[in-house]
Amino acid sequence: MRTEVVGLEALTSYDSYGEAEETQHAGRRDYVGQPINAVVVRRWDNRVPKTGGTVYLTNASVSDPFTVFDTYDWRSVIENGIFKEGKHPWHLLCFPQRTEAAVVVHCHFTFLVMGLCTAFRLWQAKSTLVPTAQTTVHLNLSTALLGGEGTARWRQRLREENRDKIIVFIGQAYGIFHLAEFAILTHLPLRRLPSPLGSPQAVLQRFGLSP
C-alpha cells in the first residue's frame, strides 16, 4: 500500500485563519491572509482522489508531512471517543449551573469518570483473554479490546444481562440470583423456567439442596 503526501508552507489563501483583529478586514481587496501550512494527500493506500482530495491545514511544521498526517488520526478518537461519547451517554453538556466554574468542574469530573470507566472495562476485557505466548510477554491495554462497543451499548448490554437478577442480603452475607432461580429456592410456583436454568431439580442440585 502506498500513500503520498506533500507539505506546503505559508499559504495565505485561507482568509478565515487568524485572530479576530486580523481577519476583520478579510473582505477587502488588499487583504492578505495569515500564513498557514498544509498537507495535501495525493494518494491514500493506493487510492487517488477523484476530486480535490484531502488537505490538512496546520500551524505545525510540515517538514515531515507524514507527522501531521498520522497525528490527524487522533481527531476521530477525539470526535467519537470523547465528544460523541461525552454528549450522549455521559451528559457532558448538562451543566449544573451556567457559570464558568460550574462548566469547568463538570467537564473535569465527567472526563475523569469516563477515563475510570474505560480503565475498568479494559481491565475486565484483559482478564477474559486466554493467555498466549504473545499476551504473556506483553499486552497493551488498547481500546481494540472493547470491540468497538461504546458506553451506551455497554450499559444496554449490562441491563439485558442483569435485568432478571436480584441481590439478597442476610446480615453481612449476600447473594445474586436469577429471579426464577430464587423463586425455586423459596418454593414459589412457576409455570415455566427459562431454558438456560434447566429444571427445578437442576436448580436445587446446583445449590446442594434436595427436592
Residue 67 CA to residue 45 CA, distance in Å, equals: 16
pLDDT of res. 130: 63
Average pLDDT value for the chain:
87
CA dist., res. 43 & res. 72, Å (int): 16
Percent of the chain with pLDDT over 70: 94
Domains in the chain: boundaries: 4-72, 77-159, 164-206
pTM: 0.59
Categorize the per-residue pLDDT at 173 as very low, low, confident or very high, splitting at 50, 70 and 90. Answer: very high
105-163 tens-digit pLDDT? 999 999 999 999 999 999 888 877 666 555 444 456 677 788 888 889 999 999 999 99
Smallest Cα–Cα separation from 110: which of 122, 99, 95, 100?
Answer: 95
Lowest mean pLDDT among 67-81, 148-162, 173-187: 67-81
Segment 48-54 mean pLDDT: 81
Query: What pLDDT is stored for residue 137 in this prediction?
Result: 43
Summarised one tens digit per residue, pLDDT across range 6-38 is 999 999 888 888 888 878 888 888 888 889 999
Taking the C-alpha atoms of 136, 142, 145 and 146 in order, what is their torsion angle to the nearest 10 degrees?
160
